Structures are given as structure tokens and as C-alpha cells.
Structure 1
Amino acid sequence: MASIAVYSVKGGVGKTTLAVNLAWCASAISRRKTLLWDLDAANGSGFLLGVDPRKKRSADSVFADGGDPAKLIQTTAFSGLDLLPADESIRAIDRQLDRLGKKKRLAKMTAALGKTYDRIIFDCPPVLNELSAQIIRAADLVIVPLPPSPLSARAFDVVVEEVRGSGKGHPPILPVLSMVDMRRTLHREAREANPKWPVIPLASAVEQCAVTRQPVGAFAPKSPAARAFAQLWTAIERKLAER
């Protein structure tokens, strides 16, 4: 099992779209039994996969002592891909984790879920708190989406500092240029400055994910965006193989 965090401290960078499409690639391309764990209160991953959260769901029931996240997992319309959805109750989970006083609670739950799943992908909240620290401790790889802008570069520096601050055994970081439009000078310059970083283009197919409520590869498999997600997933699998 390997766990992958898609993380940024800045909103609007394509984090959830990236997490959903990578989860689909894991299940559809690599044929890995995959769990997408939505830890963002907006429940964007569930929306993009066409899964609505169950009523009366409580994040406390997941993280409390004895809580079993497997009971809250929902299947999706895509073979081999399940979802552990979020809802607004997760906004208070930082206080819950502080009360528990267990710094590796999420890592232990991830290890338990790893008995069922080959790949676990975290759609992380854009915050710096105890939850983000626990996600980093649980992750084998941290993916950071970066639209070409000075603010994104600054946010990346914050993420790097946060990850490295977790200790010597911190997971590797893979930056990804997202929402790239090569017609724009700033975007071309960002690409030229970081030629080895994976690139996800600004494309109508990516925007259509929210309309169709499907990953790009499911409804536009031959599109440049679908190829970009697939190439990124291949790079991720190579990175995981180096562990």
C-alpha cells in the first residue's frame, strides 16, 4: 500500500480536481484498489465523483478512539475506486485531534485501510494545523499543485517548510504545474524554469469534470488533459517504486 497526499495551503489551485483524477488513474490505469479520502470540508471530491455524503455523518466518528472509517466508505461508479467522503463536521476535527493527543491517529487508520486498498489518496484541506501535520506523517508522497503565479510559489515554500518540519523521515514532495496555458508569458516562463515538473494544462475537459461529475479519463480519454493526468500518475508510480 502507498498513500499520496494532494496538498496546498492555497485554495483554487486545482487540488481536488487533481486528487480525483489521480485516484481514477490509480484504479483504471494501474488497476489498483484505490481509496480517495476527502479531508476537505467542502466535499469537492465526492461532488466530482457523483457521490453525495450520507446524512448525519460525523467526522468525530472517524477519528475518535475505536472509530472505524471503513464503515463510512462509499462506492463510486468507477470500478476499483471508493470514497471516504467529507462534510462540514470535519471543520472541527482539529480540536478533536488535539483532545485525543495522538499524533499518528490518521497514520494508524491509513495503515489499517491499507489491508484493503493498494493506493490511498488524500484530498487535503488548504490549511496548516494538526490535521495537515497528521496527513504528512501518514503520506508516502506529497503532491503539490502550483498554478504559475508568485502566490503559488510562495504557498509551495510554505508546504515545503511544513513537510520538512515533520522530521528526517518526511515524505518526498512532487510539485506539479497546474492550469497551465502556454499562450501566457508567465506560464511559459514557469515551465522553462522547471522543465522536469509534470504539467496539467488549463483545458475545457478539466473544467467539464464539475459538469459531468466524472474524471477526465472517464469521459474524454483521448484528450490532452487525460494524457497529462496519466503521465503524472506514471511518474508517481515510479516515485513510489523508489521507496
Structure 2
Amino acid sequence: MASIAVYSVKGGVGKTTLAVNLAWCSASISRRKTLLWDLDAANGSGFLLGVDPKKKRSADSMFAEGSDPAKLIQPTAFPGLDLLPADESIRAIDRTLDRMGKKKRLAKLTAALGKDYDRIIFDCPPVLNELSAQIIRAADLIIVPLPPSPLSARAFEVVVEEVRGAGKGHPPILPVLAMLDLRRSLHKEAREANPNWPAIPLASAVEQCAVERKPVGAFAPRSPAARAIAQLWTAIERKLAEK
């Protein structure tokens, strides 16, 4: 099992859309049993996959001692892809984790879930807190989507500093140029400065994910965006193989 975090401290960078599409690639292209774990209170991953969270148990209940996170997992319409959805209770999870005093609670839960899954992908909250620190400890690889802009570059530096602060054993970071439009000079300069970074083009097909409530590969498999995301997934698998 390998765990992959899609993380940014800046909102509006396509983080959730990328997490959903990478999870779909894992299940549909690599044929790996995949769990998408939504840890963003907005529950955007569930929306994009057409899955509504169950109301009987709150998402934060999985962190309690003796809990069974598997009871919250829901299947999706895509073979091999399951979802552990989020809800508003995640906003207060830091208090729960502080009260428990266990710095590796999420890593322990991930290891337990890994008995049933080949890949676990975290859709991370766009903040720096105890939950994000625990995600970093649990992840084997961190994907950081970066639309070409000075603010995104600054946000990337914050993420790098946070990850490196986890110690020598911190997971590798893979930056991804997101929403790339080479007709714009700033975007073109960013691409020329980072030619080896994976890139996802600005495309209507990606925006349509929220309308179709499906990953782009499921409804527009031949689109440039679908091909770019598939290539990114190949790069991720290659990166994991190097560990």
C-alpha cells in the first residue's frame, strides 16, 4: 500500500479535482484497489464522485479510539474506487487530536485501512494544522498543485517548509503546474522555468467534472486534460517505485 496526499495551503488551485482524478486513474488505469480519503470539510470529493455522506456518523468519529473507519467508507460508481467522505465535523478535528495527544493517529488508521487497499489518496484541507501535520507523517508522497502565480509560488514554499519540518524521513514532494494556459506570458514563463514538472492544462473538461460529477477520464478520456492527468499518475507510480 502507498498513500498519496494532494495538498495546498492555498484554496482555488484545483486540489480536490486533482485528488478525485488521480484516485480514478489509480483504480481505472492501474487497476489498484483505491480509497479516496476526503479530509476537507467541504466534502468536495464526495460531490465530484456523486456520493453523498451518510448522516448516521460524523467523519471525525473515525479518529476515536476503538472506532472502525471502514464503517464510514462508501463505494463509488467506479470499480475499485471507494470514498471515505468528509463533513463539517472535520473542522473541529484538531481539538480532538490535541485531546487525544497522539501524533500518529492518522498514520495508524492509514496502515489499518491499507490492509484492504493498494492506494490511499488524501484530499487534504487547505490549512496548516495538526491534521495536516498528521497527513504528512502518514503520506508516502505529497502532490502540490500550483497554478502559475506569485501567490502559488509562495504557498509552495510554505508547504515545502512544513514538510521538511517533519524531519529527515519526510515524504518527497511532487509539484504540479495546474490550470496551465500557455497563451499567457506568466504561465509560459512558469513552464519554461520548470520544464520537468508535470502540468495539467486549463481546460473546460476539468471544469465539467463538477457538472458531470465524474472524473474527466470517465466522460472525456481523449481530452488533453485526461491525457495529462494520466501522465501525471504514471509519474506518481514511478516516484513510488523509487522509494
Q: Distance in 1 between matches of 2:66 and 2:161?
A: 33
Q: Is the 8 A contact 1:9 1:128 kept in 2?
A: yes
Alignment of 1:214-233 (within 5 A): 214-233=214-233
Indicate whether 1:193 and 2:193 are aligned: yes
Q: Distance in 2 between matches of 1:136 and 1:67?
A: 22
State the Cα distance separating 1:60 from its structure 2 match.
3.1
State the Cα distance separating 1:222 from its structure 2 match.
0.4
2:40 aligned residue: 40
Q: Distance in 1 between matches of 2:160 and 2:192?
A: 21
- Which residue identity lines up with residue 35 of structure 2 in the other structure? L
2:116 aligned residue: 116
Structure 1 stretch 51-60 or stretch 150-159: which is displaced more? 51-60
1:176 aligned residue: 176
1:144 aligned residue: 144
State the Cα distance separating 1:55 from its structure 2 match.
1.2
Normalising by structure 2, report the TM-score: 0.99
Q: Distance in 2 between matches of 1:149 and 1:82?
A: 34
Q: Secondary structure at the match of 1:86?
A: coil
State the Cα distance separating 1:56 from its structure 2 match.
3.7
Q: How many residues align?
A: 243
Normalising by structure 1, report the TM-score: 0.99
State the Cα distance separating 1:67 from its structure 2 match.
1.3
Q: Is the 8 A contact 1:59 1:93 kept in 2?
A: no
Q: Is the 8 A contact 1:57 1:87 kept in 2?
A: no
2:166 aligned residue: 166
Q: Can you give the 5+ residue segments of structure 1 that lack an aligned partner in the other structure? A: none
Task: Please tell me the root mean square deviation across aligned C-alpha atoms, in Å.
Answer: 0.5
State the Cα distance separating 1:27 from its structure 2 match.
0.3
Q: Is the 8 A contact 1:75 1:82 kept in 2?
A: yes
Indicate whether 1:157 and 2:178 are aligned: no
Q: Can you give the 5+ residue segments of structure 2 that lack an aligned partner in the other structure? A: none
Q: Distance in 1 between matches of 2:94 and 2:137?
A: 15
Q: Distance in 2 between matches of 1:159 and 1:76?
A: 31
Q: Secondary structure at the match of 2:151?
A: helix
State the Cα distance separating 1:58 from its structure 2 match.
1.4
* CA deviation profile, 1:74-127 (whole Å, cap 9, x unmatched): 000000000000000110001000000000000000000000000000000001
1:63 aligned residue: 63
Q: Distance in 2 between matches of 1:237 and 1:54?
A: 32
Q: Secondary structure at the match of 2:167?
A: coil
Q: Distance in 2 between matches of 1:145 and 1:60?
A: 26
Q: Distance in 1 between matches of 2:54 and 2:150?
A: 39
Alignment of 1:199-210 (within 5 A): 199-210=199-210
Q: Distance in 1 between matches of 2:172 and 2:99?
A: 29
* CA deviation profile, 1:109-162 (whole Å, cap 9, x unmatched): 000000000000000000100000000000000000000000000000000000
- Which residue identity lines up with residue 63 of structure 1 in the other structure? F
Indicate whether 1:9 and 2:21 are aligned: no
* CA deviation profile, 1:25-76 (whole Å, cap 9, x unmatched): 0000000000000000000000000001111431331101111111100000
- Which residue identity lines up with residue 178 of structure 1 in the other structure? A
Q: Distance in 2 between matches of 1:181 and 1:206?
A: 13
Q: Is the 8 A contact 1:38 1:123 kept in 2?
A: yes
State the Cα distance separating 1:7 from its structure 2 match.
0.1
2:128 aligned residue: 128
